[in-house]
Structure 1
Amino acid sequence: MTLIEKCRVLIVEDTTIAATYLAREMTQLGAEVVGLARSEEQAVEKTKAEMPELILMDIHLADGSDGIAAAEKISSQFAIPIIFTTAYSDDNTVNRALKASPYGYIVKPFDTKTIKVTCETALHRFALEQKVINSEKRFKVAAEAAQFGVVELDGKGKTFSFDGAKSLQNRLGAGTQIAREDFLALFPESERKEIVHTLEKRASLRKTIVLEEQGAGRKYLDIVFSEVDFHNDDVIIGAVIDVTDKQRQIKQLRLSNIILDQLVEGVALLDEKFSIIECNRALSTLLRLDLNSLHHCDIFQFGLDASELKKALNTLQIVRRKSILLTADGVEFPAFVTISEIAPRHEQICYVATFSDITDLNKAERKLESLAFTDQLTGAGNRNYLKLILNEASYAQAIQALVFLDLDGFKLVNDTYGHNVGDELLSQCATRIRSVIRNEDTFIRHGGDEFVILVQEEGDLTQLGNRLLEVFSDVFDVSDTELRISASIGIAQMDESVEPENLLKHADIAMYEAKRKGKNQVVFFSGEQNDAIEYRLYVEQGLFNAIENKDLHARFQPIVDTENRVVALEALCRWHSQDIGDIHPESFIPIAEETGMINAVGLKMLKEVCIACVTLREAGLGQIKFHVNVSILQLNSKLMVSQFLEYLEDFDVKPEALVLEVTESAMHDVGTRKVLRELAKSGFSIALDDFGAGYASVSELGESYTSIIKLDKSLAPGEDKSSQKNIIAESIIQLCQRLNKAILLEGIETQKQADFARQAGCHYMQGFYFSEPLTLTDAISFIQQE
C-alpha cells in the first residue's frame, strides 16, 4: 500500500479543468479527495472543515488571491504537507514559494508519474518530521511527570485533620484510636501477620494503604506507627500522611521513564553548562557511547556550534537546528537537534535536548531535488538543471561550448506510431548520444525531441558533431518496428563576449540553420546567420512562455446567415507580446505545429470556447454555435482527443454546439479521416476549411462526414462580376448545393461581396464587413443588438 492510498487530499486550484484533472488523477492513485477550493479564503476554510492530510496548492488563485499566502496561513495553524502546483517556473515565483517551505513543487502541465512521486516523497518527509516533533512532546510529558510532592496530615493533640482522606476519617472517626481488628482490615491479608509481629515488638512501622473513595477514585495513605500502644485491643496511630499525589506521580514517572528509554530519538537532560545529567539509551546508540560515559559530557563535543546555539538561546526558549554530528569514533551523520530551556528550572536540569538522525529525511530531500532536475524518461538533466548551470557562475565559467541537437521528423513518428513508441525512441537516442560524449560533459534533455550537451573540456568540436551524426546512421529497433531518424545539430562556442544565458540561444539559431540547409548536418553559430532564424527562435520561446503564462486568448468573429443574423462565432487565437507586440497567427501557428505546442494552444482555445458556450447559454443565446480550428497533429493525438472530450464533459457542452474546421490537407491522412468520421458520429459538425486554396481536392466534397464547405477568402469575388474568380466561386457553390453541403464564404469585406454571396446561394458569410474578431463580452453585445 502506497502513502497516497487512503490519503485525504484537498485540491486548491482556480481552474476548473486543472482541478478536475488533479482530482481524477489523485483518485486513480487511491487518494480520497475531500474538497476543491478556488481561492485563498476557501482554501483556509476547507482545511479547517475537512482536515486533509495533503494539500495541492496552485500559486495563483481566483480573484487575485495568492496560494503562497494561503499556504502560510494554513501552515501557521495546522501541520499539513503542502505541494505547490503552478504554470510558473520563473525564479521570482520559485523563490517566493520556497520561503513557504513547501513539501514539493509541480510545474504544469502535470503528468501522473510526477504527481505520484512528488506526493509520496512529501508524505514520507512529513512523517519523518512528525517523529521528531512527537518525540519532543513525549519527553516534555516525562519531564513534567518528574515534579511531585507529598502532603502531610498534621496531628493536633489526639485528633487529626483528614483533608484528602475522607474514607480513612470515616473509619477512624476523629481520633487516633481504632480497634485492632478494624485496623488490620485496612491492609492486604498477606501483610497482616508482619504488621501484628511489628506491633507486638512495639517497633516502628510505615505502610501504604489504598482506599477507594466514592467519586474520587483511589487514595494512597502512608500510616506511620511509632511507640505503638495497645489499649483494650485498640491501636494508637502515630501519624497519617496523604501520599495520593506522590503515588500517582511515581506511577507516571515510572511510565515516563519507560517511554523515555524506548524513544528512537536521543534525549538528554542538561545543566547550565550544557553537560549531560541524564540521557536515554537511544542517545547512547546514536553517539556510540555507553550511558555511563555520556554522563557529564559536554554536548558540544559532538560537533554542535556552541557559540551559535548559546547566542540563539539568549533570545529563544527553543532552538532547532540541522547539524552534522560526530559519533565517538568520528563518523559524521546528519541530525535534527532541539534544545529547550526548562522554566522554571528543576534542580540542576536547565535544558532538554533531543537528537534525531535525519539520514532518511536527507535522502528524501535529495530524491526530491533529483526529481526536480532530472528528466524521468531519459535520465538526463532537464530544463531546470540547464537553467541552474547557466545561471551559476562557477558552473558557467567551465563551459567551452553548447551543442543543441533536434531530431528530424520525430513528430511524424509520434503521430504515426503513438507516444509509447516515441518515448522508447527518445530513450534509445539518449543512450546512443551519451555513449559518444565524455564523462566530463553534461547531457540535458531540453524538452520534447531536443537535447543539449554542455562541453566542459577543450576538444575538437567538429569531430564531436560528426560522432553525434553517426549515432543516427544505424536503424533504431523500437517495439518490433525499424525506424530511421536523423538530427540537426547547432554548436555555439563560448568566448569572452558571450554571456552564458545567450549560449543556448546561439546554438538554437545554428540548429535551425542546419534544418534550413536540409537537416542531418552540423552548423556552427556565426553572427552572420539569417536574422529570420533568430526571430523565429525568439517567437518560439515567446510562444512557450505565452502558453506557460496564459498570455494567449481567444477572439470571436461572427458568422451570419443571408439575413445578417449571427448563427455562429469562430474562435481565433490571438497573442500579444509585451516585447514584440501583436503577433499574427500566421507567424506563430506554423511554429506551434512544428514544435508540438499546437496541442497546448488548441486546448487553451477549446477551454475558452467551452467557457463561452456556457456564458452564451446563461445569456439565453444557446443556439449560437462555435467554430474551432483543429489540425492534423491534434486529431492524430489520442491524448489530445481524449482531453478534448473531457473538457466538453466537464463544462457540459454538447458536441452539437461545435463545428470543427479542418483544412483539406488533413483529409489526405487516413488516420485523420478515421478520427473525423468518429467525431461526426458523436454529433460534431465538420467543416472543410480554406477550400479552394492550396491543394484543393474536389473529391473530398463527397465525404459524408463533412457538412459545411468553407470557401477560402481568395475566392471572395472582385469588382468585375464576369471575372474568372467569380465564375469559379459560383461553380463550386453550385456543386456544393447539389451535394447538400452548407456553404460559408469567408473574407467578405464589401457590400458587393456580401451581395454576391447571397445571390450565388451561400448559406453563411464571415468577414470584416460584418465584424472584426471580438472579445466574448463584445460578441454577446453584437448578437443582442440584432
Structure 2
Amino acid sequence: MNALIENKPQSKPLRVQIVEDERIVALDIKFNLQQLGFVVTGMANSESEALAQVRRERPDVVLMDINLGRGGDGIQAAHQLKQEFGLPVIFLTAYAEPETLERAGLSAPYGYLLKPFELRELNATLRMALARREVEQKTERLEQRFRLALDAASLGVLEFHRNTDTLELDGHIAHLMRGSPLGFKFSRQEFLARLVEPAVRERLGSLLQPGGVVHTLALWQRDDDELIWLEIHASHFADEDKVIGVFRDVSAQVHNEERLQQAAVVFESAAEAIMILDAAYRVRAANPAFSALTGWSQAEVQGRHPDEFLHAKRSSDRVAARESLAAGAAGTPWQGDVYCQRRDGGIFPAWEHVAPVLGKEQQVSHYVLSFSDTSALRDAEMKIHHLAFHDALTGLGNRHHLNHCLRECMNRGPGGGAPESFALVFIDLDGFKTINDTLGHAAGDLLLIEIAARLSRQLRSSDVPIRLGGDEFVLLLHAIQRPDDLAGVADKLLGAVRQPVDVGMGEAVQVSASMGIALFPDHAASVDDLIKAADSAMYAAKAAGRDRYAFYSAALSARAVERLQIEQGLRRALAAQELRLHWQPLVSMRDGRLRAAEALLRWTHAEHGPIAPERFIPVAEESGLIDAIGDWVLQQACGQAARWLQAGCHFERVAVNVSPRQLQHEGFAQRVDAALRQARLAPEKLELELTESCLQNGDSVLRALHGLRALGVQLALDDFGTGFSSLSMLKMLPINRLKIDRSFVRDLARDPNDLAIARAIAALAGTMDLAVTAEGVESAEQRELLLAMGVQEAQGWLYSPAVSAQELATWFNKPAGI
C-alpha cells in the first residue's frame, strides 16, 4: 500500500468494522485506518462474529471480505447487515468473476475494492460511501417526515393525470371503503361516482383545466352505503399536467356542527338560566331565561366573572368548585347549592350546575353554567330537615343526623373517595341527674344548652356535635390523621365541661363528663357497632373515676407503643449497624446473565430479630428518619457498587429506592452527587427507583428529577400502573425505565387482563423509548410471555431472592443460561 495519507480532522471520528479471515491482513488494515483518523470498532473473522460485533458496536461502515473461509460468506453477511441495520458495506476481495460481482451487486454495496488496493483508494471509497449514506439518510428522513405529517393530520393523498383514467390514492384512505376496499387505485369515473353531490363531481371533473383549484366539502358514499363527509383540497399543476390533492374524513366535525345548531335552539328556548363562560370564567353568552330570572342583560354581564354580579354568598364554595374544575378534577362537572343575587339586589337560593367543555387537547376551553331558583323548595326542605335531624332543645343534630353522617362517612370519604378514618366521642355528663332532680328541669335544660354550646365551640366546622337525648352527647370528629392527637382534644373538651354554668336564680353549678372514644375503621365497621364501642369506652371512663376519657380498647395504645419502639429502634439501628443491604439480581431473560442489582433494606433488631420493611419503612417516613436512612442506603449502595467494579465485576447499574419525602427536600440531587463522588462511582451506574406516589407532589419533584438526570443518574418508575400517574405526567418525567409491577406479572398466564396491561406497558415503553423491567417473575411461563412482549429484563424468584453482597458476587462469573 502507499504511504500514509493524512485526512483533515473530523468533528466526529468515523467508526469502521473490519471483517477479514486473515489476521495479518486485518491488523494491517486496522493500523492504516487508525493512521487515517478512523476508529476501528472491531475485527471479525467470521460471519457470525461480524454480526455480533455490529449489533454491539453499531459502526458507521463495514469493510467486508467476501471469502471468509470457514467463517462463512461475506456477501450473505452483507445482505443481513443491510436488512437489519441499513449499514454501508464495502467489499474487499481478490475475486472479480462475473458470478461473484453479480451476487455482490444484489446486496447494493457502497464500494468494491480488489486486493491489493492502495490506501488512498480505501480512504476515498470509505469517504464516498459515508457521503452517499448521509444523503440517503436525509432522503429517508424527508420521506418519513412526509409520512408522519400525513399520519398526524389523518390525510389521504389523491393524484391523477390527464392521459390516464387511474386515480391513485395514498395515506389515510381506509375510511373510504368499508365492505370491499379496492386498494390504492380507483378509476376516475368510479371515484367521481361515489361523490353524492353533482356540483362537487363537476368541479373535481374539471380540475384538469389550467389553474384548476378545488377546496370543497363533499359527501362520499362508501360501498356499504354509509355516507361520510370529506374535506378535499386539490390543484392542477400545469408543468406535470396532473392533479394532486389531499382529503380527510371530517364527518365528526360536520356532525358536531349540526349538534351545535341544535344546542343553540335549546340554549335560547330553555327555561333554566344558562351562561357560557370561557376558560378564565368570564361570561361569553347568556340566554333569555338568565335575563328573565336575574334582571341582567347579556350586554351588562359580557366579559365579567359570575362572582362579580351573581354569587352573593358561599363564595368559598364557588372558589373551591372553580379550583376543582381548573385543576381538571378529571374533567368532571360540579353541581351544588349557591346563593345568587338579582340586578335589584334581591337574594335567592339556586341549584347550580357547572360543566367543563374539553378541547382537543383535553384542556378546559369553556364552562357551561346553569342554575334555577330553588327558593320555595329550599324553604320547605329546610323546615323538614331541621325537624327531622335536629334536637329541639340544643339545636344540635339528633340520632337521625348521627346515623346519616356515620353511614355517609363509612360509605365514602370527601369528594366520593375511599372512606376516611374518623373518631366517635361518646359523652355522658357526671351528676346531671342530681342537678335536674334538685333544681328542676328548667335549670337542667339551661345546663344542657350551655354544655352543647361549649362543645360546639371546641370543634372544627367539619366536625358534627350530636345530642342523643338526656345528658348524652356524641361528637363525630372527621379526618383523624394521628389518633394520638385525640387525647389533647379530649382534655380540651373535659376542661370546657368543667367550667361553672349559671342556671339562673343565682345558682352556678358544675358538672364533669365521662368520654369514650372509638375509631373507624379500627374499632368497628358498622354504625351500630361503632356507637356501642364508644358507649362501652365511656362506661370504662366512668368506672375509672369519671371526669376522664378512655379509648375503646388497648389496641390504639398498643399501636402507639409499637410505633414508638420502632422509631426509637431505628434511631439506634443506624448507630448500632443493625441495618443491612440485600441485593436482588436483575437478569437478562434471554441468557440469564446479571445486568443489575436492586438494593433492598433489611433490619435485624438486637432483641426482636428481623423486622419486616412494611413495618418500619412507614414509621421512618412519618418520623422523618427516612432522610438519614435514605442517605445511608445511598452511600452503602454506591460504595458496594464501586467495590464490585474495582474487583473486575461487570454490571450495568445498581438500583436504589427513593421515598417521596426524600424527593421533596431541596438539595436531594446534591446529596446524591456527594454520595457518587465519595464512592467514586460513575453516575450512569446508579439508578434511582421512584413510585407513582412521588408524582403527586408536582413541581418540586419534577425539579428534583431533572436535577438527577442532569447528573447522569438513571431514573426508573417502580410499580408502574398501580398508582396515580397519567400519561400526561409520564411524558414530562425524565425517566429511563418502567418497572411492571408484580401484581400484573403474578397471574400473567391465567388472567387476560393482567396480560393486556403488561403488553400495554411494554408497548408504551417501546413507543417512548423507555427500558422495561418485570418484577416478581417466578415461572418459565411468565418469562416466555414477557419475552414475547419485548421485555428483556426481570427480577424474581425464578432467578433469585434477595441475597447478601457476598452471595451476589458469585453471579458476576456465572455462565449464561436461561
Does the TM-score normalized on the shorter chain lie above 0.5? no
TM-score class, shorter: 0.3 to 0.5
Instruction: With a CA cutoff of 8 Å and minimum separation of 6, indicate the structure with the bigger relative contact order.
Output: 1
Q: What TM-score do the two structures reach when normalised by structure 1?
A: 0.34
